[in-house]
C-alpha cells in the first residue's frame, strides 16, 4: 500500500520552478486575452483603419516556427545525452530568435513608413502593443535560453538534468504558439 501512495505523490508533484513558470504562462495568457478582448471592443466602436501588414511578419512567423523546431531538437538531444546537438540546437534557436526580433523591428519600420504609428488610430496602436509585448517576453526567453546554453557548455544539461531545458522548451513553444495566435488574430480581425 505504501508503494501506491508514493507513486501517487510522485505523479501529483511538480518541480516548484516548473509550477512557477506555469503560473507565469497563465498570467501571460490572461494579458493577451484581455488585449484581444479590448481590440475587438475598440474595433466595434468605429474609427478603425485597415492596416496592410508588413510582409516581414510572414518571415518572422517562419523564423519563430523554425526556432521552436530547433529548441525541440535541443530538448530531444538532451534526452539522448548528445551534448554537441544540444549546443547546436540552442545556438540555432538563439540565432533564429534574434533574427525574429530584428525582423519585428524592421516590420515596425515598415509600419511607420506606411503611416501607421503607435499613437494615432487604435488599429496601429494595438499592433505595436501586441508585437511589442511578445518581443519583451521573447527577450526574457532569450535570457533563459542563454542560461541553459551556458549550462550545456558546462555539461549540466543531459538526461539526468532536464528541468532547465524542459522549462525553456515549454516557454519557447508557448511563445511560438502565442505569436501564431497573435498573427492570425490580427490578420482575421483587421
Give the sign of the dihedral formed by CA 46, CA 52, CA 54, CA 60.
Answer: positive
Per-residue model confidence as pLDDT tens digits over 44-58? 887 888 888 899 999
Domains and CATH numbers, the chain: 24-188 (1.20.120.80)
Instruction: Give the pLDDT band of residue 172 (cuts 50, 70, 90).
Output: very high
Give the 3-state secondary structure percentages of the chain, helix then strand then coil, rounded to 5.
Answer: 80, 0, 20
Name the pTM for this structure: 0.88
Q: Say if residue 8's pLDDT is above 90.
A: no
Neighbours of 145 (CB within 10 A): 24
Per-residue model confidence as pLDDT tens digits over 67-117? 999 999 999 999 999 999 999 999 999 999 999 999 999 999 999 999 889
Amino acid at each position: 500500500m505504501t508503494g501506491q501512495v508514493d507513486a501517487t505523490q510522485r505523479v501529483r508533484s511538480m518541480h516548484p520552478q516548473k509550477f512557477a513558470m506555469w503560473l507565469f504562462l497563465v498570467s501571460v495568457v490572461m494579458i493577451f486575452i484581455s488585449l484581444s478582448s479590448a481590440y475587438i471592443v475598440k474595433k466595434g466602436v468605429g474609427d478603425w483603419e485597415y492596416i496592410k501588414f508588413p510582409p516581414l511578419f510572414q518571415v518572422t512567423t517562419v523564423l519563430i516556427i523554425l526556432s521552436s523546431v530547433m529548441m525541440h531538437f535541443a530538448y530531444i538531444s538532451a534526452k539522448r545525452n548528445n551534448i554537441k546537438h544540444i549546443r547546436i540546437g540552442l545556438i540555432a534557436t538563439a540565432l533564429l530568435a534574434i533574427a525574429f526580433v530584428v525582423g519585428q523591428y524592421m516590420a515596425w519600420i515598415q509600419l511607420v513608413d506606411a503611416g501607421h504609428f503607435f499613437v494615432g488610430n487604435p488599429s496601429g496602436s494595438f499592433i505595436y502593443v501586441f508585437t511589442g509585448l511578445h518581443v519583451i517576453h521573447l527577450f526574457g526567453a532569450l535570457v533563459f535560453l542563454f542560461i541553459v546554453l551556458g549550462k550545456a557548455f558546462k555539461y549540466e544539461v543531459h538526461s539526468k538534468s532536464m528541468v532547465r531545458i524542459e522549462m525553456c522548451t515549454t516557454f519557447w513553444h508557448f511563445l511560438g504558439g502565442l505569436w501564431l495566435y497573435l498573427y492570425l488574430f490580427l490578420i482575421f480581425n483587421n
